[in-house]
Structure formats: C-alpha cells, structure tokens
Amino acid sequence: MGRSDMATVTDSSPRVRPRLAWLRLNARAALVVLAVFLSTRIMLLLAVFLSSAAIPMPSSTNGYASPDNLLLDGLIRHDSWWYVNIAEHGYTMGDLATGQQGTVTFFPLYPLLVKLVAGLTGDVFVAGVLVSNLAFLAALGFLYGLVRREYDDETAARAALYLAAAPSTIFCAAMYTESLFIALVCATFYFAHRRMWELAAAAGALAAATRNTGVLMAVVIALEGMSQQGMRLRPERLLGPTPAATARIWADHLRRQFGIALASWRSLLAAAYVAIGLLLYMAFLQLTFGDPLGFIHAQATWGRSTSATGITKIFSNVVTNLNLGPNPWAGQLNTLTVLNVLSTVGFLPLVVMCAFKLRPAYAVYTALTFFVPLSTGTVGSMTRYVLMLVPCFVLLAVWGRRSWVDRLVVAIFLPLTTYFAILFSHWYFMG
C-alpha cells in the first residue's frame, strides 16, 4: 500500500465517525423510548387484566366492547364509546329538547383515524386502541427528541418516563384522544424548535383538528419563531434619564421587535396555518349542520359552558361536588373530585414555574392549557387534562436530576397509575 492510499483511509475516518455516532445516539434514543413505552404499557395492561379478572364489574356498567378479551375491553370505557359512535355513525349535533348529546364537541382527527384504521383491522375497538398507543409512542419519541435538544439524554428519558407513568396515563392507552393530541403537541414543539416551520404548521393544524385547545399551537409556533429571532418583551433599560430618552428607548425597542417579527415571517405563516385544522372542521359543520360553531353550541347538551368568570366559581363548585358527609373519613365524599382537586393543586405550582424556567412558548401553552378548562368553573376531568401539560413534565424531568426528586415523582406516580387503571377499567369515571 502506497502513501497516497494510506492518506485516503485516514482522511475518510472523520467523515464516517460522526454519522456512526449520530446513528448510535438515535438508536439509543429509540431504545429508551421503546423501553419506557413498553414497560409502562405492560404495567397498565397487567393492572387492567388482573383487576378485571378478579374484581367484579359494577352492576350498572354500560356495555362491553370485547367481553372475551379483558385487555381490549378494559380500554374501551366512557368517552371511548362516543368515538366509536362517531366512527361508526358519523357526527350528531345533539338536541337539548330530547336530551341527546351532540358528538360534534369531539374534534374529528381521532375518530377519523380510528375509522380509517378500522377499515384495515375490521374492528373499531382494536383500531381505537391501536391509534392511541401508536400515537403515544410517537409522543414519547418527540418529547424525548425535544428535551434532548435542550438538555441531555438523561433528562429526556426522565421526561418520557414521567409522562408515560403519569397517574392518568391510562387515558393514553385507552380509546381516548389524549395520546394523539399529546403527540401532535410534542411534534409541534419539536419541529418549531428545529425551525422546521412547515412540519410544525402541519402538526399544529392536526392538533387543532384533534382538540379544541389545539388551536393554541398557533401561539406556540409564533412565539417560538420570534423568541428564536431574539424577541424580548421589554428593552434592557426600561427608563431613560429624561422622558424623551425613555420614549426613544421604547421606540427603538418596538422598532427592533417589529424587525424581529418581520424576520420571523416563516413561523408566523406557519402559525397562521394552524387555524386550518379548526377552519376545516368549522366548514364541515357549516356544510353538514349549518352551524360552523356547532362544537361550541353543542356543549350545552353536555351541560357545560365556558366563561371568563367561570373560574371564580371553582371553589364553591368544588365544595359542592366534594359532597362531604358527616364523616368523610368513612368515605362519605366524592373521591373523583378529590382526585381532580389534587391534580389541579399539584400541577398549579408547575404551571407557574414553567413561566420562569422554560421557553416563553412553553409557558404560554401551559398556562392556557391549564386555565382554559378551569374557566368552566369546575375542576372536572383535570386528572386527564394535566396529561397535556407537557412542559410541566419537562420541568419535572429537569428537577429530577436530583435523585430524591426523581424517586419522589416515581413513588407518587406509579401507585396512582395503577389505581387509575383499575378504576377506569371498572367503569369508574376518572376524568
């Protein structure tokens, strides 16, 4: 071998090594995500199966999707049947006069996917569970990738584990829309963070077609784009020595921010595109029922309404819903309300801390996702809604670098996860 040949071999090494390292890194990430997904799903399914086999169902159960398969059957509960209904029979507006509840309040992407997959599997229940779990796997993947970009692999793994082992994670395994929505939220965050605005726009639009709060992803994308360009809410110096100097400081600041906004045109366009998901659904409602805001109006058939002052009634509603008897320690209270209150109170500090510790886009998304449901005046279903506070799980993962925090989180989460799974599979409404 001559000298030139040696040089060729030596020169090629630096180009090959980074690729190998990248592959190794991503293979490890995939394995971690898969391990988190599988371990938590197996634990959940075991709880569902063993409890369903051992503990009799309440006599007033509403139906069984698959009595011969406790694993599948235990994941089809409560709202699952509404998605089945939509996938099989299409939407209904509901009727206050007859008490028929309108299914248009459920956004279309999840039932649409279930219907499409059911065309392949031939079973709408299997399709529902398949869509939910594949979406949740994707959610964990995007979350891991997102956190790894900002922090490190360990933090990313913890964030994925905390989300997968969250107390109400059974909703991500069941035929519910949560896992798909979380996947699309994480995807939007991930692509926006990587400045892949087209993909962020697509993910955001799909999120907007999945849940009513999905349209918030427009704010996320816009804020993320502008903050990446260096946008700041206030100038470094708030006041000048004279009023004229102060005015000049603020004028310069606003001019600079306007320039930043112009430079962020791609993210702003992507943010605007997010509304497509909602607009398409509204167009569908207009064409089908003549009411583009049907998804809001039909809320009345569920006895819900949203108002700015609703949040002020939370305390009185909680007291009412707790239904405390003379001796609460004898079980004379509504445990579901207790769980909802615990979820709300437990996540409130995290939501507040997100504003100080995480990126502006995350903080805004978290605050809106947390407070919009509370604007109904109740803490109902907060056990489930907190699953969508993805940045809170990121914050927990960051704090989890301290081993005692990590152990505390896992010690709190895992027993509750099993408890939720057992109750859910036994037709107890959990959120």
Partner 1 sequence: MTAQSMLTWLGGLRHRLRLLRVVISVILLAALAAGGALALRVLRPAAPIQILPGQSLAWEIARAAGRSEGVQFVSGAYLPGDRMLLYARTAEADRARVRNWAALQLEPFAERLAAMSASEQLTWVIDFGPPPGEQEAITLPLRRAADLAYYRYVSSAPGLLGAAAAPDQPQTSAAPPAPQATAAPDQPQATAAPAVGTPSGTPLLNTAFDEASGAPSAWLPLSGVWAVKGGIYNQGDNTGYDFISMLNVAPQTHYMFEAKLRLGEGEMGGGFVYNVPDTKARTGAQIVDFDLKGSFLRWGRYDDKGAYVYEGGVKLDAPISDGGWHNLRLVTHGAASMITLDGRQFGPIKNTSASGHVGLIASKTKVDFDNVALTALPETGGVPLPQPTAAPAPATSFRDDFADGNAQGWQVLSGTWQIVEGAYQQTDLNGSDLGSVTPFTSDSFTMTVRLKRIAGDIGAGLYFNMDKRDSKARSQMINYTQVGKAIQWGHFDDGGNFVFEGSAPVPDGNDGAWHTIGVRVKAGAAAFSLDGKEIATAVKLAYAGGYVGLLSSHSRVAFDDVTISAQ
Total number of residues that touch partner 1 (CB under 8 A):
26
Shortest CB 295 distance to partner 1, Å: 13
Judged by CB under 8 A, the chain residues 352 through 411 that form the site for partner 1 are none
Please identify which residue in 112, 263, 368, 372 interacts with partner 1, judged by CB under 8 A. 112
- Interface with partner 1 (CB under 8 A), residue from 139, 202, 358, 387: 202
3-class DSSP assignment, residue 74:
coil
- What is the residue-wise DSSP string for 273-290? HHHHHHHHHHHHHHHHHS
Number of helices followed by number of strands (H, E) in the chain:
19, 0
Contact residue for partner 1 among 45, 76, 86, 350 (CB under 8 A): 86
Closer of 287 and 330 to partner 1 (Cβ): 287
Using CA atoms, how far apart are residues 312 and 382, in angstroms rounded to an integer? 16
The per-residue DSSP string of 205-266 comes to HHHHTT-GGGGGHHHHHHHHHHHHTT--SS-S-S--SSHHHHHHHHHHHHHHHHHHHHHTHH
What are the residues whose beta carbons fall under 8 Å from the beta carbon of 305, sequence distance 6 or more?
299, 376
State which residue, 85 or 317, has the beta carbon closest to partner 1: 85
Q: Which of residues 264 and 376 has its CB atom nearest to partner 1 in the complex?
A: 264
What is the identity of the amino acid at 239? L
3-state secondary structure of 60: coil
**Among the listed residues 6, 57, 152, 198, the single contact to partner 1 using CB under 8 A:** 198
Q: With binding defined as CB under 8 A, does residue 63 bind partner 1?
A: no
Closest distance to partner 1 from the beta carbon of 273 (Å)? 6
Residues 257-296, one symbol each (x = binds partner 1 by CB under 8 A, - = not), give ----------------x--xx--xx-xx---x--------
- Nearest Cα neighbor of 158 from 414, 410, 417, 416 is 410
Among 77, 115, 211, 384, binds partner 1 (CB under 8 A): 115
Placement of tokens 């400081």 in the chain = 249
Chosen residue from 124, 182, 207, 209 binding partner 1 by CB under 8 A:
209
Question: Closer CB to partner 1, residue 262 or residue 283?
Answer: 283
Place of tokens 């390292």: 21
Stretch that binds partner 1, among 90-98, 180-188, 398-406, 423-431 (CB under 8 A): 90-98
Identified binder of partner 1 from the candidate list 173, 180, 205, 207, rule CB under 8 A: 205
Toward partner 1, which CB reaches closer, 61 or 320? Answer: 61
Q: Which of 7, 34, 116, 324 binds partner 1 (CB under 8 A)?
A: 116
What's the angle, vertex CA 307, arms to CA 302 and CA 310, rounded to 5? 90
Residue type, 350: L
Q: Are 337 and 193 in contact (CB under 8 A)?
A: no
Q: Which is nearer to partner 1, 151 or 284 (CB)?
A: 284
DSSP string, 93-143: --BTTTTBPPGGGS-SHHHHHHHHHHHHHS-HHHHHHHHHHHHHHHHHHHH
Residues making contact with partner 1 (CB under 8 A): 59-60, 86-87, 89-92, 108, 111-112, 115-116, 198, 201-202, 205, 209, 273, 276-277, 280-281, 283-284, 288
